[in-house]
Amino acid sequence: MACLRVWKGPAMPDASHFSGPTGLSQGLDYPGSQAPLTALERKLARNIKQKWLLQPADMASHAALASSRIPTSTRLPSKTSHSFPTQCFSKKLEVAEYCGLRSSGCVSFAKNVREGSFFDAVAAQLSPKTTGSTPVKGQTVAKLKVAINGFGRIGRNFLRCWHGRKDSPLEVIVVNDSGGVKNASHLLKYDSMLGTFKADVKIVDNETISVDGKPIKVVSNRDPLKLPWAELGIDIVIEGTGVFVDGPGAGKHIQAGAKKVVITAPAKGADIPTYVVGVNEQDYDHDVANIISNASCTTNCLAPFVKVMDEELGIVKGTMTTTHSYTGDQRLLDASHRDLRRARAAALNIVPTSTGAAKAVSLVLPQLKGKLNGIALRVPTPNVSVVDLVVNVEKKGLTAEDVNAAFRKAADGPLKGILAVCDVPLVSVDFRCTDVSSTIDSSLTMVMGDDMVKVVAWYDNEWGYSQRVVDLAHLVAYKWPGVAAQGSGDPLEDFCKTNPADKECKVFEA
C-alpha cells in the first residue's frame, strides 16, 4: 500500500521510459506528472524496487507476484487477475479513492500494455475493491500458503474459522485427507455439530474442491514425506492428525518442503515450544523453532484464567477436573483400545481418563510448574466441555465476587476475545461455537475458608480451540520476515501515525 503519484499523460508509457524493474528508479520524476516526487515518495519507491517487487521475468503471473510477500492484506492483482474490476480495463481509471494516491491522479493505459510497464508497478500496490462502478480504498498482500494435514474435527473447524476471518494473512490451498474430495467436501459442508456451512462448497475435479470459488487441492497420503509441500510452496502446515506430534514426526513436513508446522495438540518433546494465545504468544520468535504446538483445548481453556488467578491471587497449588465431551479417539461400542476405559462405549458411559492439560499449563506459565494436576471425565455429549479448578491461593479474605471481578477486568482488558464471564444459568449446549477459549460461570465461583477457591469455566473444545489455532497461525504470519506487522499495511501509514501533522500524511485525506 505504498503511496505513489501516478502517470497522468494521454497514454500509458512503455516500460523503456523508465529505469529499473517495472519502471521504478531511485530518483524518478514521472513524465507528465504535476510535480517531482517528494523525498519520502522517493524513499518508498526505492523500497518497493529493492525489497518488494520481483524481477521482470517473474512478473508474468498473479501467482508470481503473490509469492513476493508484499506486506499488506489482500491478493496481489495483475492484468490477468480476476481481482480487478471490469472498469480497470477501460481507457481511463480514476484513482481518487485508492488508498495512498492523491485525489488528482488518473491512470491511463492500453488494454495490450506490456507486463513490464509502469501500470504493473502501480498494480502491485493497489487491489481495487468496488461497490458498483466506484473504486474504494484497498490494499495488497502476498498471503502465506497453508496446508491442513488431517481434515478431521479440528481440521474442518480450522478451515471454517479461517474462512470467517476478514483480511487473513493466510491462504489455505491444500488439505491432506484420506477420504478424498468426496468426503472432504461433504463433511466440510454438512456438520452434525456446526450445521450446514454457509459457504459454497463444490467438487471441482478429482483433486480439487472449492470454497466460495477458492480452489483447495485435496491430496491423500499418510506419509508426510510424500506430500507435495515443496511443489506447492507451502509456508505453514496445520498438523491436525494427532499423530505427528513430536519432532521427528512433525519434522517430516519440514523435510517435505514446508517452512513451519503448527501442531493442534500437546507436543511430545522439550524441543517443541508451546504457545497459548492470551498467555504467552508474545514469546513467539520466528527464528527459534520451525515446529510449534498450540497445546490442547483444555490447556487453552485453563491457562488464561489461571494466569489471571496467579497474577491477582497467587496460586499455591490446585487440582483440575475437566468434564470433557467424548472424542474420535474413543469407541462408539466396546472395542479394543490401549486405554481400557476408553475401550468402552463412549455414548453410554462416564469414562475417567488421564489428561496432561493441568501440568501443561507450566509450559506457558513456568512459575506454576509442579503446582497443578488433574484428570478428565469423558461424558456422553459430542461437544462443549467444562473445567472445574480448585486451588489454594496466597491472598486471604477473598469473596467469590472478588474473584469474579478479577476475571471481568481481564475479560474487558488484556484477555478480551479469549476470556469471558457468564452471569446467566446456562448449560453446555449454550456454549457451542463460542469464540473465546474459556467462559467463567460466575454463579459457580466459590471461596472456602481463607484461601481455597473453586472456579468453573466452559469451553467449546472444537470451535473455540480452532479459533486459537487460527490466531496462532496468524501470529506466525505476522512475524514472518518481510510481512508487515498486524494493523500496519505500509511504511507511510506507520509514519503518519506518529507524525499526523506532516504534509505527506495528507495523501490519506478524502
Residues forming the active site: 297
Q: Which residues pair with 131 in a beta bridge?
A: 134
Q: How far apart are CA 160 and CA 263, in angstroms?
A: 18
Q: Which of 359, 323, 329, 357 is nearest to 341 (CA)?
A: 329
Using CA atoms, how far residue 362 sits from 307, 367, 464, in Å, is 10, 7, 21
Q: How far apart are CA 242 and CA 264, in angstroms?
A: 7
Torsion from C-alpha of 17, 18, 23, 29, nearest 10 degrees: -110
* Cell triple for 466: 480452532
Positive or negative torsion for Cα 98, 77, 27, 483 = positive
* Cell triple for 431: 456454549
242: CB partners within 8 A, 6+ apart: 150, 264, 265, 329
Amino acid identity of residue 150, one-letter, is G
Q: How far apart are CA 296 and CA 437, in angstroms?
A: 11
Q: Which of 276, 269, 293, 469 is nearest to 365 (CA)?
A: 276
Q: Which of 261, 199, 215 is nearest to 235 (CA)?
A: 261
